[in-house]
Homo-oligomer: A and B are copies of this chain.
Amino acid sequence: MRDAGTLIGLIVILAVFGALVPGFFAERNLINILQQSSINACLALGMTLVIISGGIDLSVGPTAALSAVISASMLVAGVAFPLAIAAGFAIGLACGLLNGVLVAHVGLQPFIVTLGTLSTYRALALIYTGGNPVLGLPAGFRAIFNGSLFGLPLAVIIVAVVALIAWIILKKTPFGEYLLAVGGNEEAAYIAGVPIARTKIAAYMISGLLAALAAQILIGRLGAAEPILGNLWELDAIAAAAIGGASLMGGKGSVVGTILGAVILGTMRNGLTLMNVQSFYQLLATGLIILAAMLIDRVTRGRG
Residue from the list B242, B287, B303 in contact with A120, Cβ < 8 A = B287
Can you report 18 residue pairs joining A to B where beta carbons are below 8 Å apart? A106-B298, A108-B294, A108-B295, A108-B298, A109-B242, A109-B247, A112-B239, A112-B294, A115-B242, A115-B290, A116-B290, A116-B291, A119-B283, A119-B284, A119-B287, A119-B290, A122-B287, A123-B280
Count copies of this chain in the complex: 2
Near B by CB (< 8 A), chain A positions 189-205 give none
Q: Which residue in chain B gives the minimum CB-CB distance to A304? A: B107
Chain B residue with Cβ nearest A127:
B280
A79-121: which residues lie under 8 A (CB-CB) from chain B? Answer: 102, 106-109, 111-113, 115-121
Query: Which B residues touch A281, using CB under 8 A?
Result: 123, 127
B122 adjacent to A283 (CB under 8 Å): yes
Contact (Cβ within 8 A) A290 B112:
yes
Is A14 an interface position by the 8 A CB rule? no
Apart from A108-B291, A108-B295, what are 4 other A-B pairs with CB-CB below 8 Å? A106-B298, A112-B238, A112-B294, A122-B283
Q: In the complex, are the beta carbons of A113 and B284 less than 8 A apart?
A: no
A225: Cβ under 8 A from any B Cβ: no
A248 close to B (CB within 8 Å): yes
Min Cβ gap A6→B in Å is 13
Alpha-carbon distance between A106 and B281 when the two chains are bound, in angstroms: 25
CB distance from A197 to the nearest CB of B (A): 14
Q: Tell me whether A243 is interfacial, beta carbon within 8 Å.
A: yes
A290 proximity list for chain B (CB < 8 A): 112, 115-116, 119
Query: In the bound complex, do residue A113 and residue B294 qualify as a contact, i.e. CB atoms below 8 Å apart?
Result: yes
Say yes or no: B107 contacts A284, CB within 8 Å.
no
| Contact partner, A291, options B117, B235, B286, Cβ 8 Å | B117
How far is the CB of A220 from the nearest CB of chain B, in Å? Answer: 26
Q: State in angstroms the CA–CA spacing of A115 and B56 once bound together.
A: 15
Q: Which residues of chain B come closer than 8 Å to A113, judged between CB atoms? A: 291, 294
Contacts of A108 in B (CB 8 A): 291, 294-295, 298
A124 close to B (CB within 8 Å): yes
Question: Which 10 pairs across A and B sit closest by C-beta, in order of nearness?
Answer: A119-B287, A120-B287, A123-B284, A116-B290, A123-B283, A116-B291, A126-B280, A112-B242, A119-B286, A127-B280
Chain B residue with Cβ nearest A110:
B248
Q: Determine whether A131 belongs to the interface, using a CB cutoff of 8 Å to chain B.
A: yes
Chain B residue at minimal CB-CB distance from A122:
B283
Between A117, A119, A243, A295, the greatest number of chain B beta carbons within 10 A of the residue's beta carbon is seen for A119
The residue on B at minimum CB distance from A121 is B287
Closest residue on chain B to residue A112 by CB atoms:
B242
Q: Does A15 contact B (CB under 8 A)?
A: no
Enumerate chain B residues within 8 angstroms of A294, measured Cβ to Cβ: 108-109, 112-113, 116
Determine how close the nearest CB of chain B comes to the CB of A47; give it in whole angstroms. Answer: 12
- Contact A287 B123, CB 8 Å, known A106-B298, A116-B294: yes
Cβ proximity bits A4-25 to B, threshold 8 Å, 1 near / 0 not: 0000000000000000000000
